[in-house]
Structure 1
Amino acid sequence: MSEKTVRKPKQKEFTSSQGNKYVLQTVPNSKYLEIMDESVVKDNGQPSISILYPKLLEHVVVQPNGLKVDDFDDFSELREVCEAALKFQQS
């Protein structure tokens, strides 16, 4: 019988094209699957960004803490940060 290894979350600093710094942190696979399941639109099976982006900001973007979608003045930066968080989680 092998001992269960405690998985330590990975972190990465991300700097947006506007020069703002963020820290991304992976979540356990079970949490990621939960986030993706909760974000899917039942009608077409595609993720809804209005659900997905807030969840990524809450669970994967850990600094600055407590970011909300409306904290971004520029939608392109919001999209850039959330896409980086998604890519980092999947890597």
Structure 2
Amino acid sequence: MVNFYTAKKKINGKEYTAQFNGISAALKAVDDSYIEGTNNTSVEKLSKYLFEHVIVDPKGLTPDDFDSMDEFNEVITFAREVMQGNFREKKEQKSNTKASKE
């Protein structure tokens, strides 16, 4: 069973909460974001997935909610790291919130 974790990060004065949904969810997200007929992923498709399934607060984000590409990229990078399970450092593992999703 997958343990669902959340991680918080403040970016440009706004707090974002992202949820880890398991490795299989991360693999499916990447597979679903490929540009058809290529080996390239679509940033638009991946960001849509991240905003719908990984960033849980604030809800309903879109690329147009950001003032710059730098801010957008920083949030996407944070969300992608959480999606892949790379958000916990050994010292921080106990401080992240653990919750079961039923």
1:78 paired residue among 46, 68, 72:
72
**How many pairs align?**
85
Instruction: Return the alpha-carbon distance in structure 1 between the equivalents of residues 42 and 17 of structure 2.
Output: 23
Indicate the structure whose relative CO is greater, using CA pairs within 8 Å and at least 6 residues apart: 2
- TM superposition shift of 1:15: 1.1
In the other structure, the counterpart of 1:50 is: 44
Aligned structure 1 segments of 4 or more residues deviating by more than 6 angstroms: none
For the aligned residue pairs, the C-alpha RMSD in angstroms reads: 1.4
TM-score by length of 2: 0.74
Counterparts of 1:5-84 in structure 2, within 5 Å, are 6-16=1-11, 18-84=12-78
Which letter does structure 2 place at the counterpart of 1:9? F
Structure 1 or 2: more helix by fraction = 1
Separation in 2, partners of 1:7, 1:53: 23
Q: Unmatched 5+ residue regions in structure 2?
A: 87-102
Where structure 1 has 5 or more consecutive residues not aligned to the other structure, the ranges are: 1-5
Greater strand share, structure number: 2
- Using the TM superposition, give the Cα deviation of residue 44 of structure 1 relative to its aligned residue in structure 2, in angstroms: 2.6
Which whole-Å CA distance do the structure 1 matches of 2:18 and 2:31 have between them?
Answer: 21
Percent identity reads: 31
Give how far 1:52 is off.
0.6
1:3 equivalent in structure 2: none
